Amino acid sequence: MELRQLEHFLAVVEEGSFTRAAARVFMGQSSMSASLLALERELGTDLFIRGRRGAEMTDAGRALIEPARAAVESTERARDAVAAVKGLLRGTVRIAVVTVPRSIDITETIHRFQQEHPGVDVRVLPADPKSMVELVADGQVDFAVTPRVERTSAALRFQPLVSAPIVIACPAGHRLAGAREVRPRDLAEESIIELPDGWRSRELFDQLFEDHGLQRQIRLEVDDWFSVLSMVQRGMGISYGPPECIDTDIFGGVAIATLAGAPVWELGIVTRDEALRGAAGRALLAVYLEDCANAPHNWSW
């Protein structure tokens, strides 16, 4: 059994298909399939059921996930330790990031970091806010940039970067545009463009209505923040969210109203215990935190 075979196996597990996994590790699909077939022959069992719906794991495949991750992580730590002695920085950093305000965008940090450390590969995993914490807890990513999630284990740490009260986003000509301390009951009859269940802003907004004994009918729910703001800009309704995520340079037709008793939304970094992260992951995180500390915040209200 070779380490690269375990890496290929985990790529398929995380990507859900041989095609995407092959693209992720920069190899042809036929070579990926051959590598995994060789692994299955050595183990004497099928790890995947191959079909039209992609690669579905067998019981044996599910049993291999944690040992495979442990083997890969152990090897990466060994390589990092040797590289550290040589004064080098190498390895792979995996992160998960939601859409963030421009003031704390990690893109430029990654670009500069890779220029300074060409031996480090950075992989940004697509994920929704609901699964961010699980990715960190399972060791699939080194850290995640995500809204605060209450459901965290003792081994995880949340470090806030942005903290702000929820505000109302509305069309520029709306009756609430620019209003201060809007009461929740004044929103009960409004057409609200809702965020999906599981989003932190939605949880806070639901709790606000519940605390005031209010109900609202959900007619439109959108699973993309930029689409929400675009719809608000076009006058399709009002919505809610943190002010730093309402970019009025891009969405010039969107105005802000503040809420009375508004709950506080936080965006930050979720990490595991320090000892569980590699040197490259710690270094990238340190640079990102420094960039965030030096960035001017662009409040829109």
pLDDT tens digits, one per residue of 180-203: 999 999 998 899 999 988 888 999
How far, in whole angstroms, is CA 155 from its chain's centroid?
Answer: 19
Q: In the predicted model, what is the mean pLDDT of the chain?
A: 85
Statement: residue 208 has pLDDT above 60? yes
Question: What share of the chain in percent tops pLDDT 90?
Answer: 39
Q: Is the pTM of this model over 0.75?
A: no
Better-scored residue on pLDDT, 155 or 234: 234
Domains of the chain, CATH where assigned? 1-87 (1.10.10.10), 89-161+267-301 (3.40.190.10), 167-262 (3.40.190.10)
Residues 23-34 pLDDT 10s: 877 788 888 889
Cα angle 61-67-69, degrees, rounded to a multiple of 5: 95
Which two structure tokens, joined as six digits, stand for 215? 């109900």
| Interval 116-175: pLDDT, tens | 888 888 988 877 767 788 888 777 788 999 888 765 566 788 889 988 999 999 999 999
- For residue 101, the model assigns a pLDDT of 79
Q: Which two tokens stand for residue 29?
A: 């699909």
Examine the pLDDT at 72 and tell me if it is beyond 70. yes
Reported for 287-293, long-range contacts at CB under 8 A and 24+ positions apart, including other chains, are 287/109, 287/112, 287/113, 288/106, 288/109, 289/159, 291/104, 291/108, 291/109, 292/103, 292/104, 292/161
